[in-house]
Each structure stands twice: as C-alpha cells, then as structure tokens.
Structure 1
Amino acid sequence: MTHAYEEVGARTAWRAPVTHARTRPGPAEPQVHVHPDHAEWTDFSSMASLQLLTESVARMIGFEVACLSVVIGEDLVTVAYSGPEEFRDEVFQTDHVSVLDPVIAQSEAWGRFHFLAEEDRHGHFPGHWVVTSEGPARTAPVDAWRPLDCLMAFLHDDDGNLRGVLSVDSPLSERRPDATQRALLERYAAHAERSVVGAFVSAELRQQMSHADAARRAVRTASTPTRPILEVLAEVHRALVDVLGASGTWIGVLGPDGRPTTGARSRDGEPVDLPPDVADLAAAVAGRLWREQRHLVVGTDDVVPQRSWGTTAHDQRLFVRAKELLVRLRLGSLLVVPLGSGDQCVGFLALTRRANDLPWSTIEQTSAREIGHDLGAALQVATALERERRVVRELRQLDDHRTLLIATLSHELRSPLAVIRGNLEVVGELAEDPDSDPFHQAMVRGADRMQKVVDDLLLLTRVSDPRHPLVCVPVDLRAVVLDVVSLVETQADAKQISLHVGLPSQRALVPGDAVELDRLVGNLVSNAVKYSNEGGSVSVTLEHVAHQVVLTVTDTGLGISEEDQQGLFRAFFRSSNPDAQRRPGTGLGLSIVASVAERHGGTIEVDSTLGHGTTFTVRLPAEGP
C-alpha cells in the first residue's frame, strides 16, 4: 500500500460475467444493505440516502451498475449498490484497503474518476472483484466497453483523506466515456463526494456524542456526594478505558502545593509506579492547559509537536520530555486533558495507549476534553466534600477531647468539693465566734455554686455524648412538674411571684430518662422565677396535643433580645442584658434543656421580647398506648 493511502481506502467492484438484458432501472424504494461488521457506522437514514444517491448517479450518467464503498479503519466497506441482485452478496464482501494499490498504480486519472482499461491491466488483483458484462462483439468499435474495464471515483475530505470510492460498470451506451461524459461523471462524483464526507461527519458526531454521553453518565454516577474521592476515581477509570480505549489512566488531583496527590492506573485498575519527574511534568502543564483551554497529544512517532502544542521554547522542551517519558514507559501515545471548573484547575486527565494501538482521533480528543469539564466539576465537588469531611472529623475529635476534658475535670472536682462541703458543715457546727458566720456562709455558697457547675457539666457531657445511649422508661411528666413546682415555690414566694400551674387530670407519660427530664423541667421553671422581677408571674402548663406532650413555661420577666436568642442554647451562654448578667447562673441550664429535648426526640422553641417576658415551649413524643 502506498504512503498516500496508509490511513484511508475504498471499495471497488468489477462484476462477474453474466448474460442479462440491459434495461434502465425504474424507480424503486432504496434497498438498504447494512454490513454486519459495521452496522453502527451510520444511521439508517444516512444509509438510505447513500443508496438513493448511488442509484441516482448510475441512472443520470448512464451506467447500469454502481457501487459506493467507504473507508472504515483499514476496511473497504460497501454501503450502497445498484445493479443485478445476483451480485449483491459478493459486492458486500469486505476487503482490505490494499486492494486499491494496483488500480491506483495502473489507472489513468480523469479528475476524481480513474479509468483502468482492460488492455492496460497487468498482474494479480487481490480482493473481491465482480465482472458484470460480456465481451464486445468482433465488430464492436475500438471504444467499446470491455468486461475488465474499471472506472471508479476516489472521494476525499477537505484534508485530502480518501473517504470512499464510487465505481460504475456496464454503460448503457456500451462504450467507454468520451470527453462530454467525463465532465458529467466529474460533476456527479463531486456530489457523491460531498454526500460521503457528510455521512462521515454525521457518524463522527454521533460517535463523539455517544462517547461523551457515556463518560458523562459514568462521571455523574460515580460522583455522588457520599463517595470518597478515591472511590470516584476508580469508578471513572473503568468508564474511561472502556469508552475511549485507553491502556491506562492518570486522573491527577492537584494538592495545595500544585502537585498531583493521586496516582496512575493500568487498564485493569492496578496502581502504576511513575518516575518522580513525571509529577513535575504533569504539574507544569495542568494549570497552563486549563487557562488556555487546550489539551496535548504526543506520540513516540511524532517528529514535531502536533497542532495541540504551543510554539514556545517551553512547549518544545515539554514535548521532548513527554516523548522521552513515553519511550521509558514503553507507551505509544499520550493524551492530556486539564480538569477544572470556572477559573480553577483541579487536576488533569492523562490517557495512554500502547505502541501498536491506533492514534488518538479528533473525535476522541474532543470527547476527552468535554469529559474533562464534567470530571473537573465533579472532582471539585468531591474535593470540597473531602475537605469538609476532614474538618468535621477534626471538629468531632476536638469535641470528643473537650467532652473528655470536661468530664475528667468534673469528676476530679467532685471529691475535693465533697471534702470542702463536709468540713464546712463541721466548721459551722463548731464555730463559736458569731463574727465568723458571714465568712462561713460565703464559703458554703461558693462551694454549693461550684458543686452545681460540676453537676451541670457532668449532665451536659452525658446528654451531649452520642455514645451514651438513652435508656427509655415511661416517665409521668405531670408528676415531674408537680415536684419541680414544689421546690421553686419558696423562691417564688420570696419574690412575691405568682406561680400558676395548669396540668391534665391524667398522667402525661413520655418515654425517657427520669433524671434528665426532671432537670429539663427544673431548669425552665427555676429560670422563669429567677429572671422575673418581684411581683411578676410564672405560668407552667402541660397538655396532650395529638401524639405529643407539650410543656409551656411563661414568665413576665426581663425578656430576651433577638440577638441573644440566636445563641441561647449554647453552653456557657450569658445574656448581653446587664440586668440578666447580675443574676447568678452557670450558662449551662438552657444548653442542658435543649440537649435533653433533642435526645428525647423533642423540640424546644422560644418566644420572647426584650422587657416583656419569655415563653419556652417543649414538645416531647408521648408514650404509646
């Protein structure tokens, strides 16, 4: 095969001798014959159009037989035939492109058409050749058409690549074309050329869309937010080697230092060790390729950089390094596509092929670049989620450390506090000097306050720890409210606060921990009394609403500003209201209330206006029947 046709070929047909009547074919529905090995080359409508074209050309230029063949890889595939049905099966046999070599070498060029006269034919012609006419009579003129005459048009695309061959046989005039008919032949050959090239373009576009759609589906399927980034890369790798026919992939995700943090994989998914300088080369080109929105292709047979490369000295050095890398890794070609989203480059996609594999086609390059945009966006999301997960893990570790620290300190403080309080009781009993009593009482109040802080810390640690399971038993919240109210009545009476209680006549059972629920009710009611001024009122109600038990605590006290309400349930929160700051508290009470409510599957709401009191509403699931 000559160099000019190394990447292209065509299919031509001479017809086997038969005896048949020469009649002009009448109008008929186009008969579409799809070659079994290349059924996906083009769609049915294009095949029908090519069949109609072939029949029309044969009719218009006065030939009984016409055959249109196209180049698919190195195969010569017949896609349309107009002529005797007995030759159809033979005509649609596939040949290698090299069957054209003797025709090209021996024929006379008439523009797109080449004519090889029977008397000029020499040597063996490989392939499937069919002759469809008998020899001329002895008295036939010298320009009579002969059985082994061959007339075919070579159809090229705009880049000069041979895309197909239109061969005709058995002229109705029984003569070889004269100058006038040659001009007509050239005109219809040009029309056939445009149709064939258009069919190839359509097929390539469909293939490109199919590749892109398949890879995009794989990328989107793999890139679910819950999947780790390494799992995403493994899934995408399998799709890329299948869709784009790569022998290996390297989906490099760039780290903070601009170097790839992930490695290459062979076709079967196994990790591939690469020389250290490969990472430097990849990091050098990824960002630039994304900024310039281009890709790179290099093959070991490339003498000069392909058009995808730049023309600077830096590009030339990268080209040489890339070729050296391919030789070292025993690879044939490399396709590098940048990955990113917006103005941010997040990595690169490198696809390799072996030395004997086909080069990267324009379709594959375009598909890979489009895939790069989708994959880049997916990796950006996956990377962001990975960072968020890492931050969440670190925060959880910090929270665990804080919880452990608080629990440890609280436990360690309980024993010394117990000793202090016990000895303070003894000192109070033994003290004889009345002047020491105020100091003793101050020490007792300080120890009691410290004990409350320790108890609150221990409880908050327990109810906030997901590793501490909630053991539920039926708890009568009505009884809990009565106990709490009886305890705070003394404080309310001391401030002349009216305490109103509204309870159901029957028990109000909720599943939960009795100690925790007692603290929830106690903190809300005691806070209502504490933050109410003298002469105010506090209302505590409990009721069944649907499948819930609803506790409402309302006071006419200081109220809470909208700003303070935002952080009201945080641990150690203290109000910005000076009046509230003057009243003692640990800042843990409402945090405990919120944690207990959430732990019991409930909710807490606050409705307050600064200076006009506050209402807390807690909703808890009721115990089932």
Structure 2
Amino acid sequence: MAEQLSPEPAPRPREDGWGGDEARAALRLIADDARRRAGFEVCAVEVLRADDVLEIVAVAGSDDGEEALLRQASPLTAMKPALALGAEYGAWTFIAHEWLTPAAARGLTDYSWVPDLPDTHDPTRWHALDMLVARVVDDRGHLRALVYLDVPLDGDRPSPARLRALAEEMQLVLRAVLSSLEREELSQQLRLVATAREVVRATSSRAGLPDLLRRTHGHLLAGFRADDLVIEVFGTPSDHGTGPAHLGPDLGAAAAAAALRAWADQTVVVVEPGRVWGDDALDRTRRPDLTAHLARHGAGELVLVPIGAGPDPLGLMLLARDLGRARWTENDGWAALDVAHDLGRAILQNRAHEREQELMAELQRLDRYRAELVATVSHELKNPLGVIMGHVEMIESLPDLPAAARTSITAMTRGADRLSTVVDDLLMLSRMGNPDTPLERVRVDLAALVEEAADDESPAASAAGLTIRVAAYDAEVAGDPEELRRLVANLVSNAVKYSVAGGTVTAAAERRGDEVVLTVTDQGLGISEEDQRRLFTEFFRSTNPDALRRPGTGLGLAIVARIVARHEGRIDLDSALGRGTKVTVTLPA
C-alpha cells in the first residue's frame, strides 16, 4: 500500500539521553564483536529510551559512521515503516532498498548514516540503502533496542539461508546487548534512588512538610521509573489529583489500611490488572475496583509503599506505571522501603521541628505576657508608693511627734524604701527584656562609675566596719550609661552587704587589650557551689542562713547578668563559703 510522503521530517529529539560512559563502552565492544562474527564492516546499537526515542549509543567499524551517528536520536515512528516492509529471520529483519516506499526511505535518510557504496545495479550485491536490523526484546516482549549490521565484507546480500544461520549465531550477542541495557538501567535507578535518599536526608527539618514532599517528589518519580507519584502523610490533607496514583477517598481509605499492614510486614503491595500482590485482604475486597481504576487511567501497575519510622506507620507512597512499562521487581521493593524509612524519619523530624516552633511561640507569648504583667504592676505600684512616701515624710516633719509614732514612721520609711527598690528593679528587668528597647551605646567611663559606686556605699561600709578600695583607670566601654551604672552599683553593694566587719571590698576596672575587666572582691560570707548554680536567677535568695538575715530582693544579680548579656560581655564567679567572693565582668572595650 502506498504511503504519503511527509512534507518535512519530524522534529529531531533531544540527543544524549541514555546511559553512562561505561555502559556505552561495553556496548561498543559488543558491537565490534558482533560485526566480526557476522562478517560485516559496521555494527551499530540503538537503544529505545523511555520517551519512545531511539538513540544510537554504539557504532563499531566506521569512523565516518560513528561521527555521524553516535549520540543521535530519532523517533521510533521513523523506523517503523521500514521495519514493516522487511523479511524476518528470527529476531533479524532484512530490508532491501528497492522495497522501501518513499515515506520509509525518507524516515531512514533523515535520521541515519548511508555508507558511500557504488551502485552496481546487481541484485545480489549490497546496496547503500539495504538494511539488516535485529530487534532486542525483553522477557515481556517489549522492544528495548535495535542492532544494525551494514556493509558485508564480501559485498554480497546475505541469502535467506545465511540470514537464518546468522539469526542463530547472533542470539548470544542480542542477549548480551539486553543484559547491558538492563544492568545500566538498574544502576541508573539505584543512583536515582540514592539521590532521592540524599535529598530526603539533606532536607532540613526546618523546611515545612509541603516543601519536604515537593523536594523529594521528582527524584522519587525518576528513581522508580514511575509515571505518577503521590505521597500521603496520615493526618494531613490529601492531594486531590487526577492521575493513576490518586485513588480518591474510598480506595484511598482502603490503601491507607493496607499501608498499616504493609508497614507491620515491611513489604510493598503491587496492584496489577486482575490481581493484588502482597495483601490478600485488599485483593479479596477491592481487586475489581483497583483493576477498573488502572484501566481508566491506562496504567499497568500501582505500587503501595508504606512510610514510617520505627514501629510507627506515618503514611504511604503510591507509584503508578503506565501499560508497557517494566514490571515492578523485588529489588524495586527493597529500594522503595529503604527510601520510605528515610522519608519517615524526615517526616518525624519535620513534625518535631514544627512542635518545637509551636512551643517556642507559646513560650515567647508567655514571656511577653509575664514581662507586660511585671511592667504594668510595677508602674501601678510606683505612683501610690510615691504618695505613701511623700505623706510619711510630711508626718515625720511634724513637731512634737510622739516617740512611738516616730518609731512607726521609721519602720514605714524603711519598708517603703525596700518596696521602692523592688519596683525599680522590676522596671529595670522589664525594660531590658523588652525587644522594643534596643541597647543604645555611648562612650562610658567604667572607672568613673566604680568611683561613684564606692562613694555611694562608703556610709554603709563605714557603719559595717569595712574598707572599700578602688583601682580603676583607662576603662572606657560602649554601652548604656544607666545600665552600666546599675551593674557596678549592684556588685559593689552586694560585696558590702555580704562582708563581715573588718573586711575589705576591692573594686577594680582596667583595660586588657580589646576588653575592659571589672572585678569586685570581698572577704565575706562566700557562696556555696549549689547556690552558685542559681545565683543569677530572678528572685533567688541564698540558702545560707547568715545571708538570708541581710535584706535583699533577689533581683540584683539577675539584673547584672541581663546587663552583661546585653553588652555582649561575660561574667565569672569565684567563691566558696567562708572565704569571700570575686565577681569578674568582661566587656568589649
């Protein structure tokens, strides 16, 4: 039957899409052996790729042919018309040039190399457009490659008897080609699966679950040679797509139940037309529905892979392959389960991170609430406290005040002063803990602040029988003047408060390289190791009975620690019960 001549060739497919250098080299050796065995000058191997494109991957015997053909690709449809016109001898087909229709000839010349041979017009001699080609098919009868022989060494067309003999002789060659193809495709699949595993393992737990699934989807689709892929995670909304791997609510629920059983057995479930492998319950109850689903989508297989971590199933992968694709193998199943374990661990890490983020947000909310509460209460206390202290001073200034009343007024003043100190400390903590109150740095002379604190504490020190020594010079830092003043004052005040009569308090500040070091040393009560672990905690009071008898709010050192942290410094403590305390604060100069 005559065929229409195409006005122009089909678009040329993308080149160089199959295999690695090692696989190509192996096929080149097979092609070279095949041409020698068959008595031909040239042999070429053309692989059928997954995109229904034939790609020349090996050429032996002709440098010109190798240069023209190697890595070139052509649509399978371009070769089919010529193959249909030939005479078959087992796996081999001989096509004489005079049998070619115009369309068949056009398909060959557009994508092939034609050797430079003289036209003798002798029907027994090989013509440049003659073709001898073998189909390489797998165990399921699917075409995998074509093997070409060209230019017989004797120049003659092979007789039918020679072609039949050739078909027998070359069976092992065709089997070797098929083995090389399958080995390379398996290696490629393992590489893709390994890549998918690396993607799963490398994906940060900080990425959200949708991002995790998006990053792994393409790698898994390619790695398992699937045409559609769905990853379902229990407890999250399903992807309502339309491909063969999307089962819908009814079949999806049955698949989820099967995934639980499959995870317990550490196996996969394979659905083929008319049979479900790996889950008798699913086969017994849903086989007709699943078979109909495959038929609707033109799919040949649907594979259910459970996802989990440890004993816990977390979801499932559904992979669909179209009709005609290679059948799912046991090796595919083990590789898929391996990836499913990695994916399960990644999902758990993702959930743990999300929970951590939720807890962090809740803690931050509670901390903001606490800070706001402390600030509000402190502000509300400040005004009435000022009123109380003002009226106490007025009453105290009245003439002829009875002695008993004066004693009460003194106690009230002392209590109000203590309460005012607590309020001031709470306001300071609130201000430093507020993210809306950034640290504004100016040049501050720490040595001057040490002198100032020593002067302020001198009356209390004299009353307690203590000596204050100051050694401060060249100690400028960048920071908040009020906060740094409070830092120095609290340390010096604490040292005086917890010293014993006859002792010495030493306050020193000096520059050391790029840092300024402030030290406050006393010879007082000292601090136990247990108390040192909680010393800078808000409202902590020492467990030492001698220390508890001395007034304090438990906020002074907490404020010191906050100030040091805000100024990017560090604080160190050296103390022991009965031998005093040394506090060292180091700040950037």
Quickly name the TM-score band, shorter chain normalised.
0.7 to 0.9
Deviation at 1:489, TM superposition (A): 1.7
The one-letter amino acid of 1:563's match is: E
Equivalent position of 2:274 in the other structure: 303
Residues 137 and 143, structure 2, Cα contact 8 Å, conserved in 1: yes
Residues 258 and 279, structure 2, Cα contact 8 Å, conserved in 1: no
Structure 2 residue 564 is the aligned partner of structure 1 residue 603? no
Q: Which runs of 5+ in 2 are unaligned?
A: 1-11, 109-113
- Measured in 2, the distance between the counterparts of 1:84 and 1:601 equals 75
Q: How many residue pairs end up in the alignment? A: 556
The one-letter amino acid of 1:613's match is: G
Which residue among 171, 174, 192 is the counterpart of 1:193?
Answer: 174
Residues 248 and 264, structure 1, Cα contact 8 Å, conserved in 2: no
Structure 2 residue 34 is the aligned partner of structure 1 residue 57? yes
- Measured in 1, the distance between the counterparts of 2:477 and 2:395 equals 45
Equivalent residues in 2 for 1:133-532 (5 A)?
A: 134-135=122-123, 155-157=136-138, 161=142, 163-164=144-145, 166=147, 186=168, 188-190=170-172, 192-209=173-190, 211-212=192-193, 215=196, 223-224=203-204, 227-236=207-216, 250-253=230-233, 259-264=234-239, 280-281=253-254, 283-296=256-269, 298=271, 302-305=273-276, 309-314=277-282, 316-317=284-285, 336-350=304-318, 372-430=340-398, 432-504=401-473, 508-532=475-499
Equivalent position of 1:6 in the other structure: none
Q: Deviations over 1:552-607 (max 9, x none)?
A: 00112222233322222111122233332332221111110111122223222212
Structure 1 residues 273 and 402: CA distance shift in structure 2, 3 A: farther
- Measured in 2, the distance between the counterparts of 1:540 and 1:87 equals 92
Q: Deviations over 1:195-241 (max 9, x none)?
A: 212321233134325534664565567x3455444444445556667
Equivalent residues in 2 for 1:529-540 (5 A)?
A: 529-540=496-507
The one-letter amino acid of 1:570's match is: T
Equivalent position of 2:540 in the other structure: 573
SS at match of 1:264: coil
Equivalent position of 2:581 in the other structure: 614
Equivalent position of 2:4 in the other structure: none
The one-letter amino acid of 1:404's match is: E
Which residue among 519, 530, 549 is the counterpart of 1:582?
Answer: 549
SS at match of 1:39: coil
Structure 1 residues 323 and 273: CA distance shift in structure 2, 3 A: closer
Deviating more after overlay: 74-83 vs 392-401: 74-83
Residues 247 and 267, structure 1, Cα contact 8 Å, conserved in 2: no
The one-letter amino acid of 1:475's match is: V
Equivalent position of 2:24 in the other structure: 47
- Measured in 2, the distance between the counterparts of 1:241 and 1:583 equals 73
Residues 115 and 149, structure 1, Cα contact 8 Å, conserved in 2: no
Deviation at 1:367, TM superposition (A): 7.2
Structure 1 residues 327 and 536: CA distance shift in structure 2, 3 A: farther
- Measured in 2, the distance between the counterparts of 1:328 and 1:448 equals 85
The one-letter amino acid of 1:482's match is: E
SS at match of 1:585: coil
Residues 249 and 264, structure 1, Cα contact 8 Å, conserved in 2: no
Structure 1 residues 519 and 72: CA distance shift in structure 2, 3 A: closer
Deviation at 1:394, TM superposition (A): 0.8
The one-letter amino acid of 1:202's match is: R
Q: Deviations over 1:49-92 (max 9, x none)?
A: 43443343343355667565544455566655667899997999
Structure 1 residues 501 and 318: CA distance shift in structure 2, 3 A: farther
Q: Deviations over 1:304-348 (max 9, x none)?
A: 22xxx4232145446666567778999997555444455554444
Q: Deviations over 1:133-170 (max 9, x none)?
A: 95459xxxxxxx99999987665545665544556685
Residues 489 and 499, structure 1, Cα contact 8 Å, conserved in 2: yes
Deviation at 1:296, TM superposition (A): 4.6
The one-letter amino acid of 2:529's match is: E
- Measured in 2, the distance between the counterparts of 1:422 and 1:175 equals 124
Deviation at 1:266, TM superposition (A): 6.1
Deviation at 1:491, TM superposition (A): 2.0
- Measured in 2, the distance between the counterparts of 1:58 and 1:386 equals 63
Q: Deviations over 1:245-266 (max 9, x none)?
A: 877764444xxxxx33244276
- Measured in 2, the distance between the counterparts of 1:520 and 1:146 equals 101
Q: Which runs of 5+ in 1 are unaligned?
A: 1-34, 138-144, 254-258
Per the normalisation by structure 1, the TM-score is: 0.72
- Measured in 2, the distance between the counterparts of 1:65 and 1:274 equals 51
The one-letter amino acid of 1:602's match is: G
Deviating more after overlay: 75-84 vs 541-550: 75-84
Structure 1 residues 267 and 476: CA distance shift in structure 2, 3 A: farther
